[in-house]
Amino acid sequence: MDKDILRKLEERLGPIHAKQRLGIETDHEAQVFGQGLTFFNLENSSLAPAIIRNALKLTGLYWRARRNAERIVVKRNDLKFAALPSLFDGYTILHITDMHVDMSEAAMQHLIELVDGMQYDICVLTGDYRGKTFGPFEAALEGVARVRAHLKLPIYGVLGNHDTIQMVPAMEAMGIRMLLNECEVIARGDQRIYLAGIDDAHFFRVDNIEKAASQIPKDEFSILLSHTPEIYRQAAHANFNLLLCGHTHGGQLCLPGSIPIKLEAVLPRRMGAGAWQYHNMSGYTSVGAGSSVVPVRLNCPPEITLHCLRRA
């Protein structure tokens, strides 16, 4: 690997986090069947794309499913919080996730058209920029750069289980502030809220909520970005007010009524897509803008989301 990237990552993450993340990535490259939170990773089987593609072709659903994968829906999620500082009433977050840019080109073209004239205060990206979970990442970076050119600053991001941490220096050079078990303050007038983000908790398990939350004063309004919603217990009990995540694709291939066949997550089903609540924490699981394994979707259109924060 590139020595320059390694040095930058060690400076950025500290030696342990960098070594753990890179080491597990190297093992994963060598061994396509992962040992993550789910034992059998469908998305890592080399046969899965052909099986899914042929099954859809046999049932005559393939071309419809391909078209579905491009038809991104803009969803709006209004959230009310008693703890939100008054100056942040109406604060809008554009949430884009699971772009898998190098595997979802038509969808990305549509995404660029959608975001161009959009009004929002910050943009957050909750991971899975790359199509595959391993291999080269240059095409993913080029695709992210094309999307990035149409997004307004500030932009914050976290890494997903499909992303290599080697992408971090280039993404930050594009102006995307990556939150790697870290936290940023967002100020409006004399009031502030906190935005934290963790590294992937699904496969790499190098998330560190304790570290990410360490700079957040008690009882201040705080938002956590996590690629996977699977850390909902740890996040809620660390007193986050809002968790924004993706990862599940809402199932991507669903039965009529948007019922997922498989969520690729150890998670209560009600948290698999859209808005949900757990104790005092509001959560939102975006079904994602792109698609993976095969760029097809059934009964589960891709989305980008505008979260509008309201003071209750």
Write out the residues near another protein by the rule CB under 8 A.
14-17, 19-20, 22-24, 27, 35-37, 39, 205-206, 208-211, 213-214, 218, 231, 233-234, 236-239, 266-268, 279
Query: Per the structure block, which two tokens stand in for 95?
Result: 């949430």
Strand order across the beta sheet in which 274-278 lies: 182-188, 191-197, 222-225, 242-245, 281-285, 274-278
Quote the least distance from Cβ 42 to another protein, whole Å: 15
Q: How far apart are CA 232 and CA 278, in angstroms?
A: 8
Quote the least distance from Cβ 239 to another protein, whole Å: 7
Residues 6+ apart with CB under 8 A from 306: 74, 75, 76, 77, 92, 93, 94, 95, 118, 120
Quote the least distance from Cβ 253 to another protein, whole Å: 20
Identify whether the C-beta of residue 311 lies closer than 8 Å to the C-beta of residue 89: yes
Q: How far apart are CA 121 and CA 112, in angstroms?
A: 17
Backbone angles phi, psi at 56, to 5 degrees: -70, -35
Quote the least distance from Cβ 197 to another protein, whole Å: 16
Quote the least distance from Cβ 264 to another protein, whole Å: 12
**Residue with Cβ nearer another protein (57 or 269):** 269
Q: Which residue has the tokens 């589960």?
A: 300
From the list 208, 218, 215, the residue with the least C-alpha distance to 180 is 208
Quote the least distance from Cβ 30 to another protein, whole Å: 11
**Residue with Cβ nearer another protein (62 or 278):** 278
Q: How many CB atoms lie within 10 A of CB 96?
A: 25
**Residue with Cβ nearer another protein (27 or 116):** 27
* Distance in Å from the first CA to the final CA of the chain: 50
**Residue with Cβ nearer another protein (16 or 153):** 16
